Amino acid sequence: MKRNEKNDDAKTSETLKTFEDAASEARIPRRQALKTGALGLASAALGGESVFAQGGGRGRGRGRERGFQPILDRDVPNAAANGGADDEFPYHLDGCKTFSEYKALRKREGRPCDPVVVEPDNPSLTYERRRCANCGRCDEACMAQTISHWYRRDALKDGVSTICVNCGQCVTACKFNVLHERLDYVEVASAIREIALAAQNEATGGNGKSGENGENGKAARTFVATTAPALRVSLGEMFGLEPGANLEAKLAAALRLIGFDFVFDATFGADLTIEEESRELWARLNEPNAGPLFTSCCPAWVKFVETFYPEFIPNLSTTRSPLLSQGAAIKTRFAEEKGLDPATITHVAFVPCVGKKFEATLPNANAAGRYWKNETIRDLDFALTTRELASWLMQTNVDPATLDDEPFDSTLGNGSGAGKIFGATGGVAEAALRNLWKVVEGTDPPAELLKFEPLRGTKALKTATVEIGGKTVRVAVASGLAAVRPLLETLKSTGKIDFDFVEVMACPGGCVGGGGQPKINGMRRPDDSWRQKRADGLFEGDAKVALRTSGDNPEIQAFYRDFVGEPLGERAKSLFHTTFEKRDVWK
């Protein structure tokens, strides 16, 4: 199943009910649908105007300033990105040094703020200009991420109009859902429904459909879902639960109800990533003058490095993200075990992040295709956000909180507690340290590493040291791109930083604060206390399980024993490692 650039409106209206009818049948109050933000997304997906435009200011200038609280109201460090002169920084703020000053100046002059630029081919984001109130929140959020106003536009090559790393923080800041993720769930839901109808038609003796569904309508496509850790502690907010309420046990049932054949937990992919990355870290620690190793599981962070600091691409871990690694495993080992044609598997990830939509389109995100010598096979076919899943569930009359518990499918379905905490800032580093201890010391990690307090919490930059194998491992965790820029500037100017291992997540708070996550009351950007509640739900889930270290996961052990071979071995490198390249955007 190939991703379409545009959804077919006729197909959409034929295969999906309007959201308000579905919400009514599901007995979901319209107020609750409005509060979650799902109603706005579903209306946009069906080709209508988002209800957030009603009474909230339509068109240019209406509704601006009402109750606005600046996201960034502090002095910005006087440092320039590629292609700019320090004495002009920040760029394109009419000489102002903070966004709040700029906003006040524009207001005095009667000029609305400009929104961020979203290119039509952006794989993550969509911008509905006709409903924009020109409040400036999106541009301010982008500046807080040290993207917007951190470079000069005349430094860009001809044909490049803007820089976007696909983090989606502009989406979280948009009060009226004018900026939102690309709504790919309509295409996936339509395909599942078509195949289900074809199979039903065949079973009842009707006329089957040919083509993708096979002869006489026989369903020839397998839909596989993978759920990311951060989604399970935020999805409930869309259904009236508190942030941090953990719906892990409900997700498999919900996804099977809407048509998925197999449902896996991305914590397996997280454990797989840690098995590779922790050994990669140990090899670097034993290499003189190798410099720090930066994590690479966040696609927005990787694109940030490729764009602004390509000289540090060699410092990025080559281990692929959990979702791409899991996708490669699904379309190789899992396909072999089940006797499935990998070309007929549609792998859909449910994620807190709009950056994963971008990651799914990367040219080299087809390790399974290279394995099968058919490079049209993608490791990840679709990435759908938490908000998209909530909209889909509401449209199909499914409230996950009311469902019975069901397990994930086995073989690639389960992960350790270390895999669960990937969704919170500091979780990847903590998981890596646990596994590194087990690999090097040969014993279970000490209690300190099972609740490593120095790396927990929502502080933008956290640091710690750990003694492993006779070496002092210096660790830093950066949450939000603004937190990591100073480290990169120091590394650029001096050639070194005081850290051996650096975890970076582009979104504040990590994946729990991702661009595809629910907003407070459907309109307001979650703050640190809100993100912390979500993170607490993940850490509590980790504490409740017996398996706390990635390498102890028996499914991971069997996967390496029966299929992969040794970590960092030939097959592991071909399927679970990748390369990066400089973004050709500067003159």
Residues 90-123: pLDDT tens digits? Answer: 999 999 999 999 999 999 999 999 999 999 999 9
pLDDT value, residue 201: 81
Please say if the pLDDT value at position 10 is more than 60. no
Mean pLDDT (the chain, rounded): 86
Sign of CA dihedral 580, 566, 468, 480: positive
pLDDT value, residue 412: 81
For the residues 564-579, what does the mean pLDDT come to?
Answer: 98
3-state secondary structure of 294: strand
pLDDT value, residue 522: 87
For the residues 561-586, what does the mean pLDDT come to?
Answer: 97
Q: How many CB atoms lie within 10 A of CB 458?
A: 22
d(CA 570, CA 378): 20
Structure confidence by residue, pLDDT tens digits, 151-193: 999 999 999 999 999 999 999 999 989 999 999 999 999 999 9
Structure confidence by residue, pLDDT tens digits, 356-411: 999 999 999 999 999 999 999 999 999 999 999 999 999 999 999 999 999 999 87
For the residues 128-149, what does the mean pLDDT come to?
Answer: 94
Token look-up 């390369």 returns 579
pTM of the predicted model as reported, rounded to 2 decimal places: 0.87
Structure confidence by residue, pLDDT tens digits, 473-488: 999 999 999 999 999 9
Joined tokens for residue 87: 């004495």
pLDDT value, residue 32: 53
d(CA 22, CA 8): 20
- pLDDT above 90 covers what percent of the chain? 78
Instruction: Tell me the residue type at 318.
Output: T
Using pLDDT thresholds of 50, 70 and 90, give the confidence band for residue 554: very high
Joined tokens for residue 176: 């009226």
Q: What are phi and psi of 367, to 5 degrees?
A: -60, -40
d(CA 426, CA 417): 14
Using pLDDT thresholds of 50, 70 and 90, give the confidence band for residue 2: low
d(CA 268, CA 119): 34
pLDDT value, residue 199: 79
The CA angle 483-489-491, to the nearest 5 degrees, is: 110
Please say if the pLDDT value at position 209 is more than 70. no
How far, in whole angstroms, is CA 84 from its chain's centroid? Answer: 30
- Name the residue among 393, 454, 469 with its Cα closest to residue 189: 393
Structure confidence by residue, pLDDT tens digits, 302-347: 999 999 999 999 999 999 999 999 999 999 999 999 999 999 999 9
- Name the residue among 303, 312, 307 with its Cα closest to residue 358: 303
d(CA 535, CA 522): 20
For the residues 62-66, what does the mean pLDDT come to?
Answer: 31
> Residue 333: which residues within 8 A CB-CB, separation 6 or more?
411, 412, 559, 562, 563
Structure confidence by residue, pLDDT tens digits, 263-308: 999 999 999 999 999 999 999 999 988 999 999 999 999 999 999 9
CA distances (Å), origin 198, targets 193, 219, 336, 468: 9, 7, 26, 58
Using pLDDT thresholds of 50, 70 and 90, give the confidence band for residue 15: very low
pLDDT value, residue 206: 60
Please say if the pLDDT value at position 80 is more than 80. no
d(CA 263, CA 255): 7
| Residues in a beta bridge with 262 | 224
